[in-house]
Chains A and B, each alone.
Chain A
Amino acid sequence: MRGYRIEEHPILKFRRGRVVKFRFNGVEVEGYEGESVLASLYALGYRVFSYSKTGRPRGAFCMIGKCSSCLARVNGVPNTRICIEPVRDGLVVETQSGLPEIPSETHGDVSEEEIEADAVVVGSGPAGLQAALTLAGHGLKVVLVEEHFKLGGQLVKQTHRFFGDTAYYGGVRGFRIGELLAEKVRASSNIKVLTSTRVYGFFAEGYLGAATVTGEPRHYLIKSKYTIVATGASERLALFENNDLPGVMGAGGAQTLMNEYGIRPGDRAVVVGSGNVGLIVAYQLLQAGVDVKAILELRDEIGGWFVHAAKIRRHGVPIKTRRTLLRVEGHDRVEKAVSVAVDGGYNPIPGTEEAYDVDLVLLAVGLQPSYALLGQMGAVVKHVPELGGLVPVRTWSMETSIPGVYVAGDLSGVEEATAAFLEGELAARSILEKEGLADGGRAEVLHYLWNVYRMSPVLERARRGKLSVTLSEGEMEELRRGAG
């Protein structure tokens, strides 16, 4: 079972679970317990999991259940996101073609549960975990809902040691922080954890509806005094020819494969985007044994930090500015990528094409906040380019235009994990203050977030973006009256 498994890695050791056997399109295959169906299949070299309405092959893109590129039929259930479906013995997985037929059986009866809690936290990344732990630590009853089968959000694939204050996990590798917080959450008697469960809507009676996405079908109606929405962000697609071909993947998708599961995402790669994500993922690709041919940057200058760029260059990877991807080619997976130079208006210049013989194209062109739930709830959102897209307007306490509904983490505007911890804690402490359970910690977190952490010159853009959507309590009241 070698295939694309990483056997040796300079900094990571992969603990693989028990071997499980399942079927893919009639063939018996193996994976390891603890990984997703998609990861197991990817390791074996499979790249196509779905065919679109018009028959275009589709593969792995976001790897975190957000993009719908990997929908397949699992045990007869169509439209299953196999990137967040845990692999297990006896599963029957089949490629889906176009619109699936409605299954003739219902595959298990649904049990229903109504839950009342002081607070519900949607999303278990750094913001959600920190918020849930802070609330539960002061005696509030919390429900934590997570669509993945694992807690931790994107911490699970962060292999670097965090910068900053040790109070906010400085010096610890990201995935380890995720494990530590998840253990604490599991140990807390005040937190009810619902994994593999998706919130599908908010209703006028004040209920959040949530449904399991795998295993025993269970339907939850959750009512709580406070809600913290921390649903994170998803990767953007870039516009070039055949941009949906398997092998075109989000940078974070590749991180899931190589850093979380120990699977090499390809043999030869081109990275699009030279921000920190692009530079870091290129370095991690090298560590995973991938030959990185080039990093393409549309603008005149490299977007990320000098230290990261220097490290990449030392490994002989060229960073090509004023150049973008024109197309990828291949039958059912990427076989070739073609880049082109751009002029001052970012228009392609004919005759400047360069071709790369690659099987992987990683897009590091930014993240966009996953605002769907807040949008449906009716929160006032604003498009802020500095923050990646549509974000909710909020108070200094992280409360949105819907009283009692708070936001934290990348959904409030894309930054990085330390900001997410701080915002999760700030939202939770603001709730505690309203409940008369304050211990003075809120002012301290607020001060650290704005006057220490975000004063770093490299966070200037994010700080400006966040300031533009942060209102005083009075301004928010006015907005609510106007919106109502």
Chain B
Amino acid sequence: MLDAKKVIVCRCEDVTLYDVEKAIEEGLTDLELLKRKLRIGMGPCQGSGCLLLVASVLARKKGVPVSEVPLPVSRPPITPVQLKFFAGGKSG
């Protein structure tokens, strides 16, 4: 009775529970693939909100514990940084 299209899983990218379940049913059964398709974990919070939610939906669909869902690779920056910080600054 829950309308999955109205349930938000990732606030940064407006990904719904429906989107996640549909992508898994289409065969994207690991987090790396779901990330590439849905952009989960790629918004400003870098997955701090959605990653475990998506991992638990995936675990439930596959019938395995969450601990058996491999995590996507995490690369810096792990938090948004303005480009000017990398563009080189003055020492001092």
Contact = CB atoms under 8 A, between A and B. Distances in A.
Contacts of A54: 14
B63 interface: no
B12 interface: yes
Contacts of A200: 76-79, 81
Contacts of B27: none
A243 interface: yes
A313 interface: no
A372 B91 CA distance: 29
B25 to A, nearest CB: 17
B11 A68 contact: yes
Contacts of B74: 372, 375-376
B34 to A, nearest CB: 16
Contacts of B50: 237
Nearest to A234: B48
A112 B90 contact: yes
Contacts, number: 140
Interface centre among A52, A113, A241, by most B CB within 10 Å? A241
Given A53-B13, A109-B90, A111-B89, A375 B82 contact: no
Interface in B65-92: 65-67, 69, 71, 74-82, 84-85, 87-92
B14 A53 contact: yes
Question: How many A residues are at the interface, by size bracket?
Answer: 35 or more
Interface string A52-94: 1110101001000011110100000101000000000000000
Contacts of B71: 375, 381, 390
A286 interface: no
B75 to A, nearest CB: 7
Contacts of B67: 382-384
Contact of A390 (B11, B14, B52, B85): B52
Interface in A363-406: 368, 370, 372-373, 375-376, 381-385, 389-390
A166 B74 CA distance: 41
A241 B55 CA distance: 20
B78 A69 contact: no
A237 B8 CA distance: 9
A106 interface: yes
Interface of A: 52-54, 56, 58, 61, 66-69, 71, 77, 79, 106, 109-114, 198-203, 209, 211, 217, 219, 234, 236-237, 239-244, 326-327, 340, 348, 350, 368, 370, 372-373, 375-376, 381-385, 389-390
Contacts of A199: 78-79
7 shortest A-B CB distances, which residue pairs? A201-B76, A110-B89, A68-B45, A200-B77, A383-B67, A112-B89, A241-B6
Contacts of B33: none
A78 to B, nearest CB: 10
14 contacts: A110-B84, A110-B85, A198-B81, A200-B79, A202-B76, A211-B81, A348-B2, A370-B48, A372-B74, A372-B79, A375-B71, A376-B76, A382-B67, A390-B52
B85 A219 contact: yes
B3 interface: yes
Contacts of B65: 383
A467 to B, nearest CB: 16
A217 B85 CA distance: 8
A111 B90 contact: yes
Given A111-B90, A219-B85, A242-B6, A326 B1 contact: yes
Contacts of A66: 45, 48
A69 B75 contact: no
Given A77-B82, A348-B2, A67 B76 contact: no
B52 A236 contact: yes
Contacts of A110: 84-85, 87, 89-90
A382 B84 CA distance: 35
B52 A368 contact: yes
A308 B70 CA distance: 38
Contacts of B78: 199-201, 372-373, 375-376
A111 B43 contact: no
A348 B84 contact: no
A241 B45 CA distance: 21
A385 B85 contact: no
Contact of A239 (B46, B53, B92): B53
